[in-house]
């Protein structure tokens, strides 16, 4: 039961907050930018919670009848999203798929709306460069040299309302990926970790729904990065005989070349930032397959020399 078809799940209002580097990136629009990584608070963790709160507050102004918030982030025990949710009396379900969290949230919420259990909910995700650096890498002020294959965790948050009432963006179907481990142990090379999961989910999706790859006007992956995107294309043709042409990777395209951020952007926010602010409003694409990719590791298990499993969840969007 890897793939699900939805009849009445639509995306409605969304709200985007971006960090300083993301505001200078290739993003065409955003609702709010923060110049200060602390967002006026004492800690980076507090700042990330506040970003999510501001988004929920904005979305609740127009949508009073929200029944459920589903979301997640990169922090241990999902504290960012959970601390945000503690400010509201709305039901809340945390979701963790690392950088594929946005799609796992949409799939959970979409399935509940499609089954007519609820009518309206919010899917939210965020990442904060400094919070991720502290948790996964080195102290903020520690100047560890960055290698070319490494990606840079984007700062931002995005929430979107999912509803059963018709809008111009339909969530048409979804594929829940499997956790896949191809033996990569290098946590700096997350593109290589996640590419096999992305290729596998793409294959499963097309196979389950009996579609050819050119059914889609665009296939967009989350944060494989410049090198991971090439590995993904090669895996698709080698393993699954799929030639991927109409394709782009959000992580490779978010930052400008002159921002010098190595392989590109990563973090759960990368994909929704690019999707909502550059792709969906461009009106260029009607049928879009969104494959979010996540590297399911912790520093503890990497230090214990384990190879890293990865996950990719896909959602198919139809823009009218």
Partner 1 sequence: MNKSEYKNIVKKYTPNEDKLKNAFYAFVSGGIIGLLSASIYALFISNDVESTIATSCTLVILILASSLLTGLGFFDTFVEKFKCGIIIPITGFAHSLTSEAIDNKNDGMITGLGASIFKLAGSVLLYGMVSAFILAIIKVIMNG
What is the spatial distance between Cα 304 and Cα 223, in angstroms, rounded to a whole number? 25
**Phi and psi angles of residue 46, each rounded to the nearest 5 degrees, phi first:** -60, -40
Which residues face 5 on adjacent strands? 173
User: Are 195 and 235 within 8 A, CB to CB?
Assistant: yes
User: Are 293 and 223 within 8 A, CB to CB?
Assistant: yes
- Measured from the CB atom, the residue of 102 and 203 that comes closer to partner 1 is 203
Binding mask 240-279 for partner 1 (x = CB under 8 A): ----------------------------------------
What is the spatial distance between Cα 253 and Cα 272, in angstroms, rounded to a whole number? 13
Q: Decide: is 144 part of the binding site for partner 1 (CB under 8 A).
A: yes
Look up residue 131 and give its two tokens. Answer: 């919070």
Which residues face 221 on adjacent strands? 249, 291
What is the spatial distance between Cα 51 and Cα 47, in angstroms, rounded to a whole number? 6
- Measured from the CB atom, the residue of 170 and 204 that comes closer to partner 1 is 204
- Measured from the CB atom, the residue of 238 and 281 that comes closer to partner 1 is 238
User: Are 268 and 99 within 8 A, CB to CB?
Assistant: yes
CB of 145 to partner 1, least distance (A): 5
- Measured from the CB atom, the residue of 121 and 228 that comes closer to partner 1 is 228
- Measured from the CB atom, the residue of 89 and 300 that comes closer to partner 1 is 300
List the one residue from 235, 291, 308, 319 that touches partner 1 (CB under 8 A): 235
List the one residue from 43, 91, 168, 281 that touches partner 1 (CB under 8 A): 43
In this structure, is the dihedral angle defined by the CA atoms of residues 115, 119, 120 and 121, taken in order, positive or negative? Answer: negative
Q: Decide: is 306 part of the binding site for partner 1 (CB under 8 A).
A: no
- 3-state SS, residue 96: coil
Separation in Å, CA 26 to CA 14, 114, 206, 251? 19, 34, 30, 11
Q: Decide: is 293 part of the binding site for partner 1 (CB under 8 A).
A: no
Separation in Å, CA 224 to CA 28, 186, 318? 21, 14, 23
Residue written as token pair 């919010």: 122
List the one residue from 87, 138, 178, 284 that touches partner 1 (CB under 8 A): 138
Stretch that binds partner 1, among 131-139, 206-214, 242-250, 278-286 (CB under 8 A): 131-139
Stretch that binds partner 1, among 19-27, 146-154, 213-221, 242-250 (CB under 8 A): 146-154
- Measured from the CB atom, the residue of 139 and 168 that comes closer to partner 1 is 139
- Measured from the CB atom, the residue of 86 and 147 that comes closer to partner 1 is 147
What is the spatial distance between Cα 140 and Cα 291, in angstroms, rounded to a whole number? 30
List the one residue from 40, 89, 115, 143 that touches partner 1 (CB under 8 A): 143
Stretch that binds partner 1, among 10-18, 106-114, 143-151, 201-209 (CB under 8 A): 143-151
Stretch that binds partner 1, among 26-34, 232-240, 242-250, 266-274 (CB under 8 A): 232-240
Look up residue 88 and give its two tokens. Answer: 């509201």
Stretch that binds partner 1, among 113-121, 135-143, 162-170, 207-215 (CB under 8 A): 135-143
The distance of Cα 235 from the centroid of its chain, to the nearest Å, equals: 21
Q: Decide: is 178 part of the binding site for partner 1 (CB under 8 A).
A: no
What is the spatial distance between Cα 262 and Cα 247, in angstroms, rounded to a whole number? 20
Q: Decide: is 145 part of the binding site for partner 1 (CB under 8 A).
A: yes
Contacts with partner 1 by CB under 8 A lie at 42-43, 134, 138-149, 182-184, 189, 192, 196, 227, 230-231, 234-235, 238-239
């Amino acid at each position: 039961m890897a793939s699900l078809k939805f009849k009445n799940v639509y995306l409605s209002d969304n709200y985007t907050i971006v960090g300083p580097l993301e505001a200078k990136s290739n993003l065409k629009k955003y609702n709010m930018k923060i110049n200060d990584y602390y967002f006026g608070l004492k800690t980076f963790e507090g700042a990330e919670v506040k970003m999510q709160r501001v988004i929920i507050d904005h979305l609740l102004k127009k949508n009073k009848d929200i029944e459920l918030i589903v979301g997640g982030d990169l922090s241990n025990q999902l504290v960012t999203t959970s601390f945000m949710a503690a400010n509201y009396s709305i039901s809340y379900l945390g979701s963790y798929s690392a950088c594929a969290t946005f799609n796992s949230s949409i799939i959970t919420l979409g399935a509940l709306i499609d089954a007519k259990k609820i009518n309206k909910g919010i899917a939210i995700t965020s990442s904060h460069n400094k919070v991720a650096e502290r948790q996964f890498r080195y102290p903020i002020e520690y100047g560890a040299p960055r290698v070319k294959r490494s990606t840079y965790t984007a700062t931002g948050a995005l929430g979107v309302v999912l509803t059963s009432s018709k809008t111009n963006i339909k969530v048409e179907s979804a594929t829940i990926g499997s956790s896949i481990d191809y033996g990569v142990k290098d946590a700096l090379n997350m593109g290589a970790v996640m590419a096999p999961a992305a290729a596998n989910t793409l294959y499963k999706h097309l196979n389950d729904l009996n579609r050819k790859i050119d059914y889609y006007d665009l296939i967009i992956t989350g944060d494989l990065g410049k090198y991971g995107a090439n590995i993904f294309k090669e895996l698709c043709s080698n393993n699954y005989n799929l030639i991927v042409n109409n394709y782009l990777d959000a992580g490779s395209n978010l930052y400008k070349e002159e921002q010098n951020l190595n392989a590109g952007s990563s973090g759960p926010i990368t994909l929704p930032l690019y999707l909502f602010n550059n792709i969906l409003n461009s009106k260029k694409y009607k049928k879009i397959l969104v494959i979010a990719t996540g590297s399911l590791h912790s520093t503890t298990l990497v230090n214990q020399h384990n190879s890293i499993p990865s996950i990719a969840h896909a959602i198919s969007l139809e823009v009218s």
